[in-house]
Structures are given as structure tokens and as C-alpha cells.
Amino acid sequence: MKTVFSPRHLGHSSQLELVAGAIVPGFELPSRPKFVAERIQAVELGPILEPDVHELSTAAKVHRQDYLDFLPTVWDRWTAEGRSGTALPFTWPTRGLRGDVPPAFIDGLLGYYSFDAGAGFVEGTWDAIKSSHDVALTAAGIVQAGERSAFALCRPPGHHAGAAFAGGYCYINNAAVAAQWLRDNGAKRVSILDVDYHHGNGTQEIFYSRADVQVLNLHADPMQEYPYFLGHADERGSGEGEGFNLNYPMPFGTNWAEWSMSLEDACSRLKAYAPDVVVVSLGVDTFEKDPISKFKLKTEDFPKIGARIAALGLPTLFVMEGGYAVEEIGVNAVGVLAGFEGA
């Protein structure tokens, strides 16, 4: 399996986040993909390629143009106010406030274009976002050209990013852009299977009223876990999209025996939808030792995820999402890929 990866993600580093009342160094560390890439080489999964540069025209079909226009300007707007550190929002247009008028000042804009304080900007953030987007599209091209699978080693991740908002370490929704590109390049139907510990709220929002992209999400119950405000089982799509969004919320402490039952059901629904290609939002923060998560999957479980997805017999694009137990992220993410390969 070919992997696509860009060193340009490294500029997105030293960003801060707000956790349990404290401003702390972000968990979404630049070392994360390094451990994955090292593991790919150790098990000889396949070559690691640099991405081609892609236009944002496909991204503009799943994101709002004004949001895509805003992202590259954040750092300049922030430093123009004499600031450094991490550009973070602190005010959001929640119930009772107006969410339809973008303010002019940077603090207002950051709140308008986000849903939490989990997607800060430093100097290299936009370049990292763009390279991650390019990684996803380049890997999508490998699958579209006829290979059985490819791995987009994206950083930053994407599945919390909606049509016009960042959050949860995510800015551009790489899996959504890849799914759209595959639709535009021959696939009649695409399924996105999101196995990250957290609900992929952005992916759900983007495709919620569409029938051409099925979205299946396995995740911690939003009654207990981030992102809290989406991901319930009764969210099944709307309009033409009715029935094409499926959520599998699970409680804290979920282990393989329980989690794999949701995977089995999701795979049977996916098979019935008969997509031309599968996009897997691959988060490995379901791991028992993940520092910000509360599921109980073990290292030996991850290859079984890959094997089950392989049994669908469909072209498959893996897109890296979360996973924060930094050293084990390599073993576990590549465990899924090697399981898919039958290794």
C-alpha cells in the first residue's frame, strides 16, 4: 500500500489548547505522523510519496468559499494586532446570538469560523492545512487510478471541520474533500467509514442532505464525550440524505467485543449501499492507552479492523484522523493497514 505524506505539516507546532481550565501544549503533536511513517518503514508496508499540489476547487464543493478564503489569512490578521503565540477564538455565536454576520475583527472571525478553541493557528498552520489537503487528494488519485488502497497520512486531521468551521484540531475536512473528488472522478457512490474515537461531526454536517455519500460513524456517546453536540443515533440524514447518515454512539469503556459489533453492522450497511469506493477516517484514539479517550481497544485489535474492511472487497482510501498515544499511534494505525493487506 502506498502512503502519501508531507513534511510541511511540521510548521504547525507548539500550538496551545484549552483543557480542563488550563491553557496547555496541544495533544495533536507534530511527532504523531513521524511515528506512523517510521512504522510503515519498519514493516515495509510500501513506499511513502510526497503529495502533488492541488487546487482548492474540490474543497470549495464541501466547504464554504468565505471559510476557505479566511483560513490562509488568520496568521497575518493575528500578527497585525501585534500578537504572537497561538491564534485562538474565545467567543462563539451560540443560541441567542447572531451567527449570520461575520464580524470584521480577527477575534470575532475566529469565533465565527469555529465551534471550539481546539483548532489554533500558528505561523505554519495554513501551509500544514494545505499540505494535508494535498496529501488526501494525491492518495485519492492513487485509488482512482486503480490501486486497491492508499493511505493519506494527513496532519492536521479533518473530520471535525464542517462546511464553514474549524475545531477539534481540524480545519479542512480531508476525508470529505477526497470523497467529493472521487465522486467527481467516476465514483457514483462513496461511503465514509469513520472509526475515530470521536464523532466526525464535520463530515456528518457536510454530507447530511446528500444521498451520494454515505457516512457511517463509530464513536464515543456525545452525551459523555466531545464533540458533545452531534453524533446521536437518531441523526440519520435529511431530505435526499435521509437514511444515509448512520451513527453508532458507544459508552466509555467500550472494548473490542462491543466495538466490533458496531463495526459489523456498519460494514453490512455499507455493503448494502454498494459504493464504488470507501474512504476510512482512520483514528486510532480508540486505543486503551490513549491520553484523551476512554475506549479499550488493544493493539492486537487494530489489524482486525483492517481485515474486516478488506473483506468488503472495495477500493479503499485510508485518511489519518486522530490518535494521541504518541508512540503507539504508529503500531496501531499501521496495524489497521497491515490487517487490510492481509499481513
Catalytic residues, which ones?
A: 160
Cα–Cα distance for residue pair 152/175, rounded to 1 Å:
9
Distance set, CA 191 to CA 54, 78, 335 (Å): 23, 38, 22
Which cell numbers in the block locate residue 25?
501544549
322 binds Zn ion (CB under 5 A): yes
Q: Which distant-in-sequence residues (6+ apart) come within 8 Å of 164 by Cβ?
A: 63, 64, 66, 67, 113
Kindly state the smallest distance separating residue 324's Cβ from Zn ion, in Å.
Answer: 8
227 binds Zn ion (CB under 5 A): no
| Range in contact with Zn ion (rule: CB under 5 A) among 59-67, 90-98, 250-258, 321-329 | 321-329
Assign 201 to helix, strand or coil: helix
In the complex with Zn ion, which residue's Cβ is closer, 143 or 280? Answer: 280
Kindly state the smallest distance separating residue 97's Cβ from Zn ion, in Å.
Answer: 28
Among 113, 151, 197, 248, binds Zn ion (CB under 5 A): 197
Spell out the alpha helix ranges (H) of 80-166.
106-112, 125-144
Q: Is 194 exposed, middle or buried (0-12, 13-18, 19+ CB in 10 A)?
A: buried
Of 206, 280, 282, which Cα lies nearest the Cα of 244? 206
Kindly state the smallest distance separating residue 101's Cβ from Zn ion, in Å.
Answer: 32
In the complex with Zn ion, which residue's Cβ is closer, 187 or 297? Answer: 297
198 binds Zn ion (CB under 5 A): yes
DSSP strands (E only) in the chain: 2-4, 16-19, 22-25, 48-49, 149-152, 190-194, 213-220, 245-250, 277-282, 316-320
| Range in contact with Zn ion (rule: CB under 5 A) among 99-107, 127-135, 189-197, 199-207 | 189-197
What residues from 271 to 290 belong to the interface with Zn ion (CB under 5 A)? 283, 285
In the complex with Zn ion, which residue's Cβ is closer, 267 or 329? Answer: 329
| Range in contact with Zn ion (rule: CB under 5 A) among 87-95, 190-198, 262-270, 308-316 | 190-198
In the complex with Zn ion, which residue's Cβ is closer, 67 or 197? Answer: 197
Kindly state the smallest distance separating residue 198's Cβ from Zn ion, in Å.
Answer: 4
How many angstroms from the chain centroid is the CA of residue 206? 13
> By CB under 5 A, how many residues form the interface with Zn ion?
6
In the complex with Zn ion, which residue's Cβ is closer, 70 or 169? Answer: 169
Cα–Cα distance for residue pair 339/309, rounded to 1 Å:
9
Cα–Cα distance for residue pair 287/8, rounded to 1 Å:
27
In the complex with Zn ion, which residue's Cβ is closer, 106 or 218? Answer: 218
Kindly state the smallest distance separating residue 267's Cβ from Zn ion, in Å.
Answer: 20
| Range in contact with Zn ion (rule: CB under 5 A) among 27-35, 192-200, 214-222, 259-267 | 192-200
Q: Are the CB atoms for 282 and 209 separated by under 8 Å?
A: no
| Range in contact with Zn ion (rule: CB under 5 A) among 12-20, 44-52, 302-310, 316-324 | 316-324
Kindly state the smallest distance separating residue 115's Cβ from Zn ion, in Å.
Answer: 15
Among 194, 196, 290, 301, binds Zn ion (CB under 5 A): 196
Which cell numbers in the block locate residue 112?
465565527
Residues binding Zn ion (CB under 5 A) = 196-198, 283, 285, 322
